[in-house]
Amino acid sequence: MVELKGWAGKILRIDLTSGKIEKVDTERYVPKYIGGLGIGLRIMWDEVSGDVKPLDPENKLILMGGPLSGTLSPSSGRLTAVSKSPHTWPVEHTTRGNIGGHFGAELRFAGYDGIIVEGKASKPVYIAIHDDQVAIRDAVHLWGLDTYEAQRQMTKEMRDARAKAMVIGPAGEKLVRTAVIIHGLKDALGQGGFGAVMGSKNLKGIAVRGTGKVKMACSSKELLDIVEYAKSLIAAPIHGIIPPPVGGASSGYRGRDGLQWVGGPKKLSIGKVDPKDLSRMGLRAHEADRRFAGKMAPFHVKNIGCFSCPIACKSYMTVPTMSKSGIPTSGEYVCLSATWYSPPTSTHEATFAAKQLIDTLGLNPWDLVMWVFLLRWMHQTGKITEKEAGIPFSDEKKGGERFITALCNKVANREGLGDIIAEGLPRGAMKLGVLDDVLRGDAAAQVMLCSHGMWDHYDPRSYSQVLGLTWVMDNRDPNRHEYPGMALFSGAKIEDVKQVAKGLYGSENAIDPIGKITPYHPSKGKFAISIDHHGIIKDSLPLCDWVFPVVLSPHAERKYMGDMSIESKLFSAVTGVKWSEQELEKAAERSWNLHRAVTIRDWKTVNLREGHDWLPDVYFGSATQTMAVSTVVGGAGGGLDRQDFETAKTDYYRQRGWDEKTGAPTRKTLEELDLKDVADKLKL
Ligand code: SF4
């Protein structure tokens, strides 16, 4: 066996039915599938049939790091999961999730690239990994605990305070279809419902402690040179934030005077930020947290980062008065988790209770945020009474803490209406007879259910056919930030962004100003394909989507151009596999085609064009959202044009070498990508 550099060389295989623990050679999958998502997809293709349901013992939960895990590569503390999903709709197909924090690096220090969990334990258990020592331990005493308490107990039983844990809460135990897996105070393996997959296996969690080192092909100095270069272009989250005064008012990441960095003793004046002053650029993430948190801003204590991340985008906050409700007084948030319940009438205690309850119960705010709007609409239009719902709608006028606490607990425990909500928005709305109202956009302006049964994280009506394509070609919420990063968060002028887009995707027409969609142009297809490929790369190395790819940079002398080759530079240095940017992207293209093949297998049809590659009617109408949680930016405007979007789909298939009628990869394309066996199995 060749000694690998970068990759640990071993993947743990743990069968919870038999108790058997084995080690699989990573060499079998690399460099062809890179790591993370690529390897996870290949294992699911090889080992799980299309007939297996997500909560069957035959389903597997694959948790994978990659070649950059545990290194000082920026934002490399991520971990990717692949499994059959109880969350996706209408088909429960194989998809992915991703989690930050420190678990991925710790697993790497323990000597593993990933874990394949299979089977089902006869009673609650957890997996304990301490370097070479791997055990399946009893977790009967942990079943029913919230995620904070379960992690506390597990790390205590590991007898090493540096152990890291990821666990499910009551929602995962009760098989809530959208349940998440939690690590630390907030990091969540979110979309996909993999918390329910863990629950179905009677697996409460996994704890890991590693004391080993990562073997790299390059020296530490060589890696750090690339890291310093990357940091000089990254500067702040979301793909290059252009500092004021050049950055526009739309940037959510402008600095403000008087902030402290990571709770340091000295207040700093940010003023005009020099992009080379990384410390002050980091303060802009700090300010973004405060701005985004709205009424929670006064409770922000300091910023927190995942392993090896220069951005530290997460806010640690403390609300001392929560102790009266028995809710933990400190937690972390990033993005929607802070604000998913924050109507104008709510108190900060209600908003913080909502944040803490999703993290401690293991719930998914991306689904519940739609439910809050749907339930309000149903109540206001007389479709459901307070008594029928068993949830005190009237409390919303008094601050909302009782309302949101009742809702979260009912869902996590599948009580009453909570049992229907636990089915996820589309399945639950269907049971309540209001799914058509949702899909037409009639239910309530903010119930934005997009493809695959998920909330429309970045609305195609704001971000053009490009995000429309990424939504339908992916098989979950794509949650990729290149387009909004360029068009919105960067604060850069649209003329400058268009020049960057021209360099990357061949035409200025690749990107539109927000909410002003121009007719489809092939460069938009090229942009969507680039997003898909860089998504695979990020989830396979793995790196964070808030940082990579570095599409823009804040440097005027570079004409704000970033550098999309940083990932291949890091990969080549760490593994010694000297791949150019194009070669790494070719490997990503292979995994993207495998992703499509897995979806075809799970859907049991090669024709994905009609059923799978589909957007609800509402996206072909005008955008009217005004609420803070809305992903529509830019106010009312035209939606996508149906005929134009069909043209976009056809061109996307053509550029990929896929069948234009069905959207399936052709045999020729699969063979060119060294996936002949996949074409054979699909009988293409
Ligand atoms: S940008 Fe934020 S979520 Fe991403 S790795 Fe860094 S700290 Fe974690």
3-state secondary structure labels for all residues of 603-641: HCCCCHHHHCCCCCHHHHCCECCCCCCCCCCCCCECCCC
Nearest-angstrom CA–CA distance, 651 and 616: 20
pLDDT band at 630 (very low <50, low <70, confident <90, very high): very low
- Predicted pLDDT of residue 515: 82
Distance 100 CA to ligand 1 centre (A): 7
Average pLDDT over residues 21-45: 98
Please work out whether the CB of residue 234 comes within 6 Å of at least one atom of ligand 1.
no
Average pLDDT over residues 159-170: 97
**3-state DSSP helix/strand/coil percent for the chain, to nearest 5?**
45, 15, 45
Distance 418 CA to ligand 1 centre (A): 32
Please work out whether the CB of residue 313 comes within 6 Å of at least one atom of ligand 1.
yes
Query: With 90 as the cut, is the pLDDT of residue 16 above it?
Result: yes
- Predicted pLDDT of residue 304: 84
Single-letter code of the amino acid located at 262 = V
Question: In 10 A of CB 92, how many CB atoms?
Answer: 20
Burial of 538 (0-12, 13-18, 19+ CB in 10 A): buried
Question: Measured at the alpha carbon of residue 461, what is the angle toward residues 253 and 546, in degrees to the nearest 5?
Answer: 35
Please work out whether the CB of residue 547 comes within 6 Å of at least one atom of ligand 1.
yes
Single-letter code of the amino acid located at 214 = V
pTM to 2 decimal places: 0.95
- Predicted pLDDT of residue 500: 95
Let me know how many helices (H) and strands (E) the chain has, helices first.
Answer: 25, 17
pLDDT band at 660 (very low <50, low <70, confident <90, very high): very high
User: What confidence tens digit (pLDDT) does each residue in 492-502 have?
Assistant: 888 989 999 99
User: For all residues of the chain together, what is the average pLDDT?
Assistant: 91
User: What confidence tens digit (pLDDT) does each residue in 450-491 have?
Assistant: 999 999 888 888 889 999 999 999 999 999 989 988 887 777
- Predicted pLDDT of residue 553: 84
- Predicted pLDDT of residue 251: 55
661 DSSP 8-state letter:
T
- The pick from 309, 336, 337 for probing ligand 1's pocket by mutation, whose C-beta has the most ligand atoms within 8 angstroms, reads 309
- Predicted pLDDT of residue 629: 44
Query: With 70 as the cut, is the pLDDT of residue 636 above it?
Result: no
Query: With 90 as the cut, is the pLDDT of residue 270 above it?
Result: no
Distance 312 CA to ligand 1 centre (A): 6
Cis peptide before 90 (omega within 30 of 0): yes
Query: With 70 as the cut, is the pLDDT of residue 302 above it?
Result: yes
Please work out whether the CB of residue 311 comes within 6 Å of at least one atom of ligand 1.
yes
Average pLDDT over residues 526-530: 98
Please work out whether the CB of residue 649 comes within 6 Å of at least one atom of ligand 1.
no
Tally of residues, the chain: 684
Average pLDDT over residues 161-186: 97
Among 205, 199, 25, smallest CA distance to 111 is for: 25
Please work out whether the CB of residue 309 comes within 6 Å of at least one atom of ligand 1.
yes
Q: Which of these CATH numbers, 1.10.730, 1.10.3470, 1.10.599, 3.30.70, describes 460-564+605-682?
A: 1.10.599
- Predicted pLDDT of residue 633: 54
Nearest-angstrom CA–CA distance, 364 and 411: 10
Which homologous superfamily does the CATH classification assign to the domain defined by 10-209? Aldehyde ferredoxin oxidoreductase, N-terminal domain (3.60.9.10)
**Residues with Cβ within 8 Å of residue 598, at least 6 apart in sequence:** 41, 44, 45, 93, 94
pLDDT band at 628 (very low <50, low <70, confident <90, very high): very low
pLDDT band at 245 (very low <50, low <70, confident <90, very high): low
pLDDT band at 681 (very low <50, low <70, confident <90, very high): very high
Instruction: Write down the domain spans for the chain.
Output: 10-209, 460-564+605-682
Nearest-angstrom CA–CA distance, 254 and 490: 10
- Predicted pLDDT of residue 552: 87
Distance 543 CA to ligand 1 centre (A): 9
Nearest-angstrom CA–CA distance, 4 and 537: 19
